[in-house]
Structure formats: C-alpha cells, structure tokens
Amino acid sequence: MITRRKSLQTIAGGLGAVLGSSLFPGIGRAASSLLGGPKRVIFFMQNQGFDPATCIPAGMTGSGSLAKAKLPEPIEALEPYKDRLHIINGLHGLHTSPAHSAFFGALGGYRGSDGVPPSGPTIDFELSKVLPETLLPHLCIGMDSLENMRAKPTVANLSASGAGQPIFMHSNPNHLYQMLYGGISQGEIRQQHEARSSIYTRIEQMAAAKGGALQGMAKQRYGQYVQGFEDINGLRERLGGVSDHLREFAPEVDERYAKPEFETDWHDVLLDLGISALKSGITSVLTIGSGRGEIFGAWKGLGIEQQGHNLGHMKQPDNPIWIKIRQYNSRMLVKLMEELEKVPEGSGTMMDNTLIVYTSNNADKQHTNGANWPVMLLGHCQGAFKTGRFTQLDGKRPINALYTSILRASGVQCDRFNMSEKLAMKFDTGSGPLKELLV
C-alpha cells in the first residue's frame, strides 16, 4: 500500500483523473470504491452555539419535508438549495462537557472543554484516512479577529489525529497561500517560499541529528517535532511535483491578503483557499473553524462592533447581530456549493459527491450542557444521504451517531465512533448510523 507521505500525485481537481496513475493504481481504486458515498467532506464549525430557532422553519415541530417550508431569515440564502438540505435537531453532546466550547470534543465526540487535550482522533481526520487519497489529506482553516489571526496564525482547538495529537488550523492566508502555491508563484511570494523551504529543511536536519541521543518520552516528543518538519517539507515537495496542475486552481492574490480592511477580508480569502484546495484535489477534507473553536471571533466587516465572548451572551433568535453572522455563514455555504458544482465529476459534479456539515463546536449556545446539538447537512452524495428534510430526534442519540453515519456512507463498517460500550450505556440508546439520515 502507498503511504500518504510518500505519494507524489494527486487526484486532479476532483475530476477522478489521477496524475501518474500507472505509479499509483491504489488511489484510483479508492476513488471508485466510494460510489454512492462522499469523496470529500467539509465541516463548518461556528462558535458560540447554533440555536435551533435560527434554522428550523416556523411551525415545524416534527420531522417532515422542507419543500413547502420557508427557511428562517438567518439561513434564507439556502432557500434555493432546500432540496439538498437536511436540518437535524435533537442530537446531544452531554458527554463532551462543552461549557464555553467542546473544543476537540465537538468533532471527537468525547470530553472536551478548555485545556483538555484530545483523547482520540476527530471525525474529520478519520475521514481523511478513508476518502480518496490526496496530497494533503486534511486541511483546517480558522477564522477570527485580525488581531488574533496575526498574533497566532496557527492554533489547534478542533481537530486531532489521535490522543494528544492536535491538528493546527491555518488563519493567516498569506502563510497558507505560500504553503499551497508558493512553488508556482512569482516575485516576493516565490522568494519567501524558497527561503522558508530552505530553513525548514535545515531545521529538520538539525532536529533529527540532535534528537538521536534522547531517551524515552523525551525522544518520542522530539520525534513528533521532527516529524512535523518532515511532513511540511514532504508536502512542499509533493506540491512542487504537480505545479503545472496547481496553476489552474491557485486564487489570485489581491490587496485583501496583505492589506485587509476587516477580518472578513481574510475570512473570505481563507474560504477561497479552502475551495481551491478541494477543487485542485490537494485535499479531500476541509474543516472551517469560525471563531477557531474558542469564545472569540469578530465580524466588523459585517458592521458588527461587538466581539468575542460578549456575542455568546446574546440570544440568537431574532437578534440582528446573529442574523448577520448566520447569513454570512450561509453565503459561504452557498459559495462552497456553487464552486463545487462548476467542476464535472463522474456523471455529475464535485458537489454531487460532497457532504457539508454545518454546526457549532458549542452545541446550541455559549453556556450549554450539550443536551441539544443542531446540525445542517448539505449534499446527498449520489443519493447516499436523505435531503430536503427536517428531522426532529428525541435527544437520546449523541453526535457520535452522526459521525458513525458519515463513516458508514464512506464505506467504513462501524457501529460506534469514539464511544465505548460502557459510555454508550449512559449516553446512547441506539447503535450504528442514524436511519433518518442514510437512504
């Protein structure tokens, strides 16, 4: 089997065309084995909670079709896409101890909270292992205030590859553009890319040499540090190997990168970079953290002066501030769908093979016990998922069941995701995927 790190090819633009397919036959088989399930999954996590009243149509108290329903104002941008939408209310995340945020627990389905390290892999990483292989299996982008994104261009709050192994979100679009497209750029961007590549290679060599004499846990931790630089350098090499292909998808760099007026300028170009990574085949899993899994975040570009923690103390229904934020999110979701619809794939488009999961890393509100965790799904993945519906659950099945459902649709036979039988006895009344979601 070909390892991800040593693979020097990519699935081009989601078109199913494998570069150098004679060298990498296993990847072509991986793509063909997922007919009827997702080839890519996008997670969009908004902080401060997702109040169900901002997404459930007025008058809908039980499960039913969305065909004749009118979507609430915060998500009205999705009205033309109701036939691809599934609104789910009544999942829970009591076992994640969310408080201000469930952090890694939101996508991990385990205890999270501030300062609690991940106790296992999150669903986005697990999917990156089973979906068709790409150069960068999993890309995380995080949106915050300009001050926070500049001061901390990478943070790790939502995704993890295993216990104690967080995955960093990219928040500075200049750095992310350099990582993805620096090798095909010109001028200053290319010079910075080459300089960083030289430095990273040297650091990897020095770190590997110095760490050889360590023992035990110190050696293990140092090895992870070295591995990080090895992965960065390997990714740069792999991206350089498909430079001609990438030129077709690289976004245009404009003044929003270097001179953003508002944080939403960076939010918008980060989304563009995420879309380009999907369309070019660089990645098959994209995680978007609006608020970066924390209680912070800002949207001055929408005319909202309030920031961070204070936003979470405001009721979301009928609140003009939260209507603006949710409408902004909805427009982002629409853009994701529209861009993926432009790219042919198989007998349809990339969107026909894509699942978008929109929810919050903090269940329904900032100060929550996680008893209700609303979710919206967009996309049917060639008929694998039911769409055009609202489903009201009884609050007895956890978010883990949703993740089990996505894994099942992706070809993974599992009955529980990150939940032991002992834990399930307390927090899950069922087993396996949610029958309400899968066809």
Q: What is the mean pLDDT of residues 401-429?
A: 96
Predicted confidence (pLDDT) at residue 7 exceeds the cutoff of 70? no
User: Domains in the chain, please, with CATH?
Assistant: 11-427 (3.40.720)
Residue 179 pLDDT class (50, 70, 90 cuts): confident
- pLDDT tens across 68-93, in order? 999 999 999 999 999 999 999 999 99
Q: Residues with Cβ < 8 Å from 178, sequence gap 6 or more? A: 185, 189, 192, 193, 196
- pLDDT tens across 227-239, in order? 554 566 567 667 7
The pLDDT > 70 percentage for the chain reads 79
Q: Are 140 and 168 in contact (CB under 8 A)?
A: yes
- pLDDT tens across 145-165, in order? 999 999 999 999 999 999 999
Q: What is the SS3 assignment for 131?
A: coil
DSSP letters spanning 300-337: GGGT----THHHHTS--TT-HHHHHHHHHHHHHHHHHH
The tokens describing 24, both together, are 């990498």
* Order of all β-strands in the sheet with 64-65: 64-65, 389-398, 85-92, 375-378, 354-360, 40-46, 285-290, 138-143, 165-170, 154-162
- pLDDT tens across 246-282, in order? 888 999 999 999 999 999 999 999 999 999 999 999 9
Q: What is the mean pLDDT of residues 54-70?
A: 97
Say what the pTM is.
0.86
